Structure 1
Amino acid sequence: MKNLFFAMFISVFAFAANAQTAQKKASTNKVITKQVVDIACGECQFKMKGKDCELAIKIDGKPYFVDGKNIDDFGDAHGEHGFCNAVSKAEVTGEIVNNRFKASAITLLPVKK
């Protein structure tokens, strides 16, 4: 009987812990509006793990891969000043969802000399 009670207690505890975790994950979305960020290739410049050269931004020091824009949308990523060879600045608007940035607007800023 003790074993049955213990098993039920563990099951209820595990269910409650899982429900709390699911709620936290759902609330991790964050809207970003016209924020200036670093933008570059996630793999080449931000040392992120990925399958290929992919556009990424850093918000408050944390890198996110970008959805909605391609790395070559802004020129040759492997060119002299491309995203695989240099970090640039951009003004971005979008939302962080599931640890990825869903871009609605990205505007590259002029390079300061």
Structure 2
Amino acid sequence: MKKFITLLFFALLAIGVQAQEKTKKAAVVNFEKPHVVETACGECKFGLPGKECDLAVRIDGHAYFVDGSDIDDHGDAHAKDGFCNKIRKAEVTGKVENGRFKASTFKLLKDEAGKPAPKK
């Protein structure tokens, strides 16, 4: 009987350990000074869920939708070099809150060919 109780105890312990939710700690992102990040359409280029084209940034491999700047503020998103067709670089300040990047500043940088950021 002791063996059965011991075996049952270890079996329940193993089940309990495996059943614990494994969560990753979200990285703290708070850019008070300008940082260069990748930016594009979250749905088209970064695989974020959504129903329409929305601006997103990718920081340390994680993509976040952007609040404080709109995809249409930076030219035609569906142009050859637009956010739905090309990943660009931007200089940003802001922080991640509730899974979204709250941009204080958002400056689209020149692309690799030296072409200036599109103007609206």
TM-score range, shorter chain: 0.7 to 0.9
- 1:30 correspondence with 2:24: no
Name the structure 2 match of 1:54. 54
Question: How big is each residue's C-alpha offset from its partner over 1:65-98, in whole Å with a ceiling of 9 and x where there is no partner?
Answer: 0011110100000111100010000111011000
Extract structure 1 runs of 4+ deviating beyond 4 A: none
Where does the alignment leave 5 or more consecutive residues of structure 2 unmatched? 1-24, 114-120
- For 2:44, the equivalent position in structure 1 comes to 44
What's the secondary structure of 1:82's corresponding residue?
coil
- Percent of matched pairs sharing the same residue: 53
Q: Please give the secondary structure, in 1, of the residue aligned with 2:84.
A: coil
CA distance in 1, matches of 2:67, 2:50: 14
SS in 2 for 1:78: coil
With structure 1 as the length reference, what TM-score do the two structures score?
0.72
Q: Which residue is equivalent to 1:80?
A: 80
State the structure with more CA Rg.
2
Q: What is the aligned residue count?
A: 88
1:16 equivalent in structure 2? none
Q: Tell me the residue number matched to 2:16.
A: none
1:51 positional shift: 2.1
Higher RCO, 1 or 2 (CA under 8 Å, sep at least 6)? 1
